[in-house]
Structure 1
Amino acid sequence: MPRTPKPRIWKPGILKQLLQRDVVDMLVLTLLCRRAMCGYEIRRQLTELTDQALIFDKLSSPLNRLQRQAFIRQTEVPPDGDAARVYFIATDEGKKHLQEMVEDYRAFISAADRVVDLTRF
């Protein structure tokens, strides 16, 4: 007889870390689907596009994680010859993954909003 998997119980701290990690990965991947960027440009764009709500000291962890998963890759140096920086761009697999991430993110936010909307302040 097949076993029914036990439901996963998320501890708040772990869930928060996973959400933060996945949202940062989604944001970085979104920018890299538009064009090749170096880490500095990604940080600057995230800061500007979020009106400084998101400011990062470094993005090495998300970039390394996305590269290990083959969702991004290093690309050739842009035509301006700036060899001192490493540029990244989304792969086709990364673009597909981003679409899934955005769908999951929107479903999660929508579900959370339904619960939060029950609150009256």
Structure 2
Amino acid sequence: MEEILNKILDRLDSMDKRFDSVDARFDSVDARFDAVDENFVAVDEQFKSMATRLTNLENGQQPLQLEQSEMRKEVAFYYGSLMKKLDETKSELSSEIKHVSNIQKQHQDVLEILNEKQQ
């Protein structure tokens, strides 16, 4: 009986380590979301800069029209890259949530075993 309880305790310790690992992964995901937020702020600043340049284009300045065209390509690329990174982050988060769910199920199974052993 004591051996079974020790095995269960070892398993619970192992699960605690896994939960710690999952917590670390969530911290990593949070850091990635913070980085994405910072990137969106940078994109917003670039859009504000573009608005100023578009005003100059409306005044008929040919050289600025060429520059504006290039900037649109850069912003489109940057925005596309950000969206791709956001999709990857969402996918990783979904995977982490599934992992936590699996661990939670294992935890529930252990609790059920413990409950059965106590009865």
What TM-score comes out, normalization by structure 1 length? 0.36
Question: Hey, which of these two has a bigger chunk of helix by percent?
Answer: 2
Higher relative contact order (CA 8 A, sep 6+): 2
Question: Hey, which of these two has a bigger chunk of strand by percent?
Answer: 1
Larger Rg: 2
